[in-house]
Amino acid sequence: MQSEKSGKEILKVRYGKQKITIVFIDGELKISPNTYTDFRLFPGKILSMQEIAELTDHNSMDKLLRGALASVSKGHPTEKMMREKLQTKGATAKQIEKIIHVLSEGGLLDDAQFVKDYLDYAKNRGYGKHRILEGLNEKGVPGYLINQISFSEESESKRALDILPALEEKFSRYNYAQRKKRIYEALMRLGYTSEVTLHTLNRL
């Protein structure tokens, strides 16, 4: 029998679709197929305690990276959002930095691109300046990127006028004064400035 100091002998390897189980005399270790293929593991091989630690760390990284890739595939997160998600998964600071580097190098984590995508999304939703800036801040976009965004009163007014017919229809059951008040409140909630909102109401 191998001592703890000299290492542990692999007694058996059990293959599953999602996990590979490495069986030792005193327990077992479940790892991902990716981790298994990255290490030469087979029954009879003796793993030192350092090798077991490396195997465990590699498996943890693989799990975290796969989770990060799944998150990216579902939506384009900011770097801050990804860091927070990895922290909740129990990733160490070193693991987080490595995963952020891998995603950034692969073009899968790009705050500047996130801003472009979010602006398209928000403007299509009819959001105004304040609502857009609030959303970007909530998503963790760096301040220097937010400061680069410009909003012209002309484009803001056009977007507000584009959604005015829908708001008129929504509040059509109210009299003119009430309808005007509710449209004003709706435009303010959507994030338009008071100047743009008042200019839009003048078109009623």
From CA 66, how far away is CA 91, in angstroms rounded? 13
User: Over the range 125-161, which residues count as b (16 or more CB within 10 Å of their CB) and which as e?
Assistant: ebbbbebbbebbeebbbeeeeeeeeebeeeebbebbe
Distance CA 138, CA 75 (A): 15
What tokens appear for 122 in the block?
A: 């928000």
- Kindly report, residue by residue over 88-138, the tens digit of the pLDDT: 999 999 999 999 999 999 989 999 999 999 999 999 999 999 999 999 999
Residue 73 pLDDT grade (very low, low, confident, very high; cuts 50, 70, 90)? confident
**What pLDDT is stored for residue 5 in this prediction?**
54
Q: Categorize the per-residue pLDDT at 2 as very low, low, confident or very high, splitting at 50, 70 and 90.
A: very low
* CA-to-CA dists, residue 143 to 109, 110, 124, 146, angstroms: 17, 14, 23, 5
CB 1 within 8 A of CB 25: yes
pLDDT over 50 at 1, yes or no: no
Residue 94 backbone class (left: φ over 0; alpha: ψ -120 to 50; beta: rest)? alpha
| Predicted TM-score of the model (pTM) | 0.74
Q: In whole angstroms, what is the distance from residue 158 CA to residue 172 CA?
A: 22
DSSP secondary structure letters along 14-37: EE-SS-EEEEETTEEEEE-HHHHH
- Overall size of the chain counted in residues: 204
Contact between 122 and 132 under an 8 Å Cβ cutoff? The reply is: yes
Cα–Cα distance measured from residue 77 to residue 81, given in angstroms and rounded to the nearest whole number: 6
Query: Which amino acid would we find at residue 165?
Result: P
pLDDT of residue 92: 94
Give the span between the Cα atoms of 156 and 145, in whole angstroms.
20
